[in-house]
Amino acid sequence: MPATLEQKSAAPTNPNSPDRKFPLERTRNIGIAAHIDAGKTTLTERILFYTGMIHKIGEVHEGTTVTDWMEQERERGITITSAATTCAWMQKPEEGVYKMFEGIKMRVNIIDTPGHVDFTAEVERSLRVLDGAIAVFDAVAGVQPQSETVWRQANKYLVPRIAFINKMDRVGADFDMSIDSMRKKLGANAWPILIPLGKEDYLKGQLDVVNRKAVFYLDDDSMGSVYEVRDIPEENKAQVDKAYADLVEAISNIDDEVAEAVLEEKPITPQMLKAGIRRQTIANKFVPVVGGSAFKNKGVQYLVDAVVDYLPGPLDIPPAVGMEPDTHEKMEAPTDDKGKFCSLAFKLWSDPFVGKLVFFRVYSGKLSKGDNVYNPRTNKRERISRLIQIQADKREDIDTCFSGDIAAIVGIKNITTGDTLCDEDFPILLEPPSFPDPVISMAIEPKTKQDQEKMGVALQRLSEEDPTFKVFTHEDTGQTIIAGMGELHLEIIRDRMLREFKVDANAGKPQIAYRETITAPADGEGKLIKQSGGRGQYGHVIIKVQPNERGKGITVENKVVGGNIPKEYIPACKKGIEEAMRNGVVGGYEVIDANVDIVDGSYHDVDSNEMAFKLAAIFAVKDAFKKAKPILLEPIMKVENATPEEYQGDIMGDLQRRRGKIGSMESKGNLMMINAEVPLAEMFGYATAIRSLSKGRSSYSMEPSHFEQVPAQLVAAVLDQKETK
């Protein structure tokens, strides 16, 4: 490794413990994220094979992959839960090719995430703890709706990424179109560094733009392990020269060192260009693009080289930022093995072999078996009895994990996703990942009385693991309600209850998670006066409510002056207001996007107490909401439909019958891509409907978009439906 690069990636004092196998600068924590069926799991399988972690490549369609180990994943051919795995990679020396970390063994921790929108929480929590990501795109479809969601999530957590345009072996694959759609739809500053050599049946390898070489992967029994680096074929020289000039120009526009060399007309060496690409990728200003085919074993090794060369190690990213639990002052946890221990628990999982697992990312310090960890949320200490690391499909016990590592603790209690685990004398709260609210719910009951208790345990365990899965009891009917991100999500939950917990359950029809909001400002007054001999109850609250802008949620402000409501009763008033928001006045649905100001009230020296003011605040909210023109809101889904042109009219007509608004249409090859916004209430059974409309040739994907007002003529039907349940 050149000294200059080592100096840049290492801190002034060595942050590495002498006991660790791989120094921090040789560690990469990456995620693989993309739309459904873009090839994430297939790519992970190839990386594990080429790094020597597995000796036989598993296939999704055969149900033999390492990271999709759940029965439900193997049956359906989809990823449901993100899987963490560790492998080692060494860049091979190749004649005439410059590699930044040539001949140095690197550790790569990989998390394979789901693509289906119902499991978006898995992507969210993985990106929160990763240093970099490979965003995988389908070369035929380009950027798809869930690709946009994943990209937005990566932007939110400032995760540098490399794009892999996969499936270049498929009919209709178009590398340039895919890059163009990244620039247009994602606003990505994306430029190719490895261009596929050929496409469809003629895909032979890759053109290395930085080194100006061609890589040919041999079609033999070695599963793509053997490849040759040659000079660029004559017919591809002009293409590579143009791509090289574009790449240098793109980097020089954002990188001072490369720009200086261009202005001074110095030769741009591969070392200089690679260092510039690395700096700007880590700064989130540039996205290197690689083309290939994971399934046909072409291009994966050079993609892993690009991960090592361009994606950051734990030392290349800013220190983790949290806050002091009591004072809420900003605190930093720099990446250093010798620092105080600080980590984030990002995933809980019930493993069939070892029991309850807590996956965590260490940001600072180290953790060994027998150490105590402190959870600032619960103020509890726990002793670590067992640490494991997942090595491909094996679970390996380890004695110590260091900063920058991803590992799992076995058997820890009182923990939820997003908790910080740290040293007791270094209390810090790291920001947990944020999760969307469930959009769909259904009633569930065990088939036999004996299963009642087992069902309670199963639902509790599953809701601990999955922050987007909620369980609650309906106040009026006493039914157990489960809520999640979609029909598939709830179907998988029921399937897991049966297989893992042996609970067979009946479920009602899925229910939509409607919401309520207000459209006008209003005043409200609530009084509680009870006199029944002896000490009574007295609370009196006056409030003003007004609509909040969309997405701002509920805000409550105390504007009482002159002590008309004593300070000690304000928290009780706020509690009452929050409780009242759970049940609106239109149909008893949760209220969103409203501001409440507590403006006045009165109290009694003897009879006032917290409970009286809490109830008075609830009455005041109900009073104000009735006058504030409340409306019912329904979840709207963003739907993308891919259909052959001959079925376009039928599909569009069907979407419009479902109250859909057609947004845009574009043709991709022989398919029409129809984008629409459709109410979730109209999307039940849609998969079956489009199969029959298009003789099985159309496909669709959908994801939650926003809430919109329910049309006036449908409100009564929604409320009647609720009454009959």
Domain limits, the chain: 26-310, 320-430, 440-513, 520-628, 635-724
Residue-wise pLDDT tens digits, 209-265: 999 999 998 776 556 677 888 999 999 999 999 999 999 999 999 999 999 999 988
pLDDT surpasses 70 at 81: no
pLDDT of residue 120: 66
Residue 74 backbone dihedrals phi, psi, to 5 degrees: -70, -35
CATH architecture label of 635-724: 2-Layer Sandwich (3.30)
The reply to whether 320-430 and 440-513 are identical in fold is no
Tokens of 509: 């029809």
The topology under which CATH files domain 440-513 is: Alpha-Beta Plaits (3.30.70)
pLDDT band at 310 (very low <50, low <70, confident <90, very high): very high
Q: Does domain 520-628 have CATH number 3.30.230.10?
A: yes
Mean pLDDT of 13-24: 79
pTM: 0.70
CA neighbor of 141 nearest in space, from 112, 115, 98, 170: 170
Average pLDDT score over the chain: 83
Chain segment 101-115, per-residue pLDDT in tens: 888 888 888 876 765
Mean pLDDT (whole number) for 20-38: 82
Instruction: Kindly compute the dihedral angle of the four CA atoms of residues 648, 650, 652, 658, in this order, to the nearest 10 degrees.
Output: -160
> Rounded CA gap, 638 and 658, in Å?
13
Q: What class does CATH assign to 26-310?
A: alpha beta
Specify the pLDDT at position 598.
Answer: 92
The string of pLDDT tens digits covering residues 521-539 is: 999 999 998 876 667 889 9
Rg over CA atoms, the chain = 28
Q: Write down the CATH superfamily of domain 320-430.
A: Translation factors (2.40.30.10)
User: Closest by alpha carbon to 361, among 21, 196, 125?
Assistant: 125
Task: State the Cα–Cα distance between residues 157 and 431, nearest whole angstrom.
Answer: 11
pLDDT at 116: 58
| Interstrand relation of 537-547 and 522-530 (parallel, antiparallel or unpaired) | antiparallel
